[in-house]
Amino acid sequence: MRTFVLWSRGITSPDFNLNDLPSSGKRIDIVARCIISALWLSHALRRDTRIYAVLYGAPEPPKTVLFTPEIKRVSPDERSIAIWLKKALNKHRGRRDKEWVTLSNGIKISGKSFQDVIKELADEGCSFYVLHERGKSIEQIEIKENPVFVLGDHKGIPKNEEAFVLRKGERVSLGRKSYLSSFCISVIQWICDNRGIK
Ligand SMILES: C[S@@+](CC[C@H](N)C(=O)[O-])C[C@H]1O[C@@H](n2cnc3c(N)ncnc32)[C@H](O)[C@@H]1O
């Protein structure tokens, strides 16, 4: 199973405008695009990938929303994904616990932080790759099975969070240009497909 973990600053409540997803720096548009790039092929959901969107920002402590191939009734457009993010955040409004809560269509949400998610994945025995412009070239990296690719939003991953993952993994680069997070996910999926990595 391939896993993506997106660190996103922006909003932790459902109070964002579906007609203006980038509004006021909340950048739900970035989260939605990353989910689409991670999970969809042209006419089907990928069966080999899941993505954790770890949301930071006002007004609540962090929330993690998990999209897996078991999800139903979600289409690969930003608005549809944003509607489900809103439903998930609504369901978890005011909660501080770290139990997973599952929505009717299989999307899960919890109060887990980024480091909680990384620890959970480390316990599963996954290997970690932090996407960063100044990492080692992906062409020189052997990607092991059950890889976890960690990436940041438009402003990148905070240093302390990155350092936490780097205790378990390494920095990987797609080149020195800074690409959109969702584009990085598409490229990683293409590389893993070509290398036959599960
Ligand atoms: C738009 S970039 C953020 C750039 C931000 N200015 C920074 O300093 O991190 C969003 C995320 O995509 C990933 N990324 C962008 N370009 C990359 C590259 N060339 N190689 C690897 N990862 C990249 C990184 O994880 C980054 O945090």
Mean pLDDT for the chain overall:
96
Strands 63-67 and 2-9, by their bridges, are: unpaired
- pLDDT category at 41 given cuts 50, 70, 90 is very high
Tens of pLDDT, residue by residue over 104-140, are 999 999 999 999 999 999 999 999 999 999 999 999 9
Of the candidates 15, 30, 34, 5, the one whose C-alpha atom is nearest the C-alpha of residue 112 is: 5
Of the candidates 50, 47, 21, the one whose C-alpha atom is nearest the C-alpha of residue 38 is: 50
Q: Can you tell me the mean pLDDT for 69-73? A: 95
Quote the CA–CA distance of 104 and 71 in Å, as a whole number.
9
Enter the tokens of residue 137. 């070239």
Buried b (16+ CB within 10 A) or exposed e, 159-190: eebbebbeebbebbbbeeeeeebbebbbbbbe
76 lines ligand 1 (CB under 6 A): no
pTM assigned to the model:
0.97
Of the candidates 154, 165, 156, 69, the one whose C-alpha atom is nearest the C-alpha of residue 117 is: 165
CB count within 10 Å of CB 72 equals 10
Q: What is the edge-to-edge ordering of all strands in the sheet holding 101-102?
A: 101-102, 108-110, 63-67, 49-56, 2-9, 147-152, 127-137, 169-173
Enter the tokens of residue 95. 């909660």
pLDDT at 23: 77
Do 178 and 152 form a contact (C-beta atoms < 8 A)?
no
Q: Which CATH superfamily is domain 2-195 in?
A: SPOUT methyltransferase, trefoil knot domain (3.40.1280.10)
162 lines ligand 1 (CB under 6 A): no
Q: Which of 133, 136, 162, 188 to mutate to test the pocket of ligand 1 (most atoms within 8 A of CB)?
A: 133
pLDDT at 24: 65
CB count within 10 Å of CB 137 equals 11
Lowest mean pLDDT among 13-22, 28-37, 168-177: 13-22
User: Which residue type is seen at 28?
Assistant: I
177 lines ligand 1 (CB under 6 A): yes
pLDDT at 181: 98
Nearest CA to ligand 1 atom 6: 155
pLDDT at 22: 84
- pLDDT category at 59 given cuts 50, 70, 90 is very high
Place of tokens 């990148």: 156
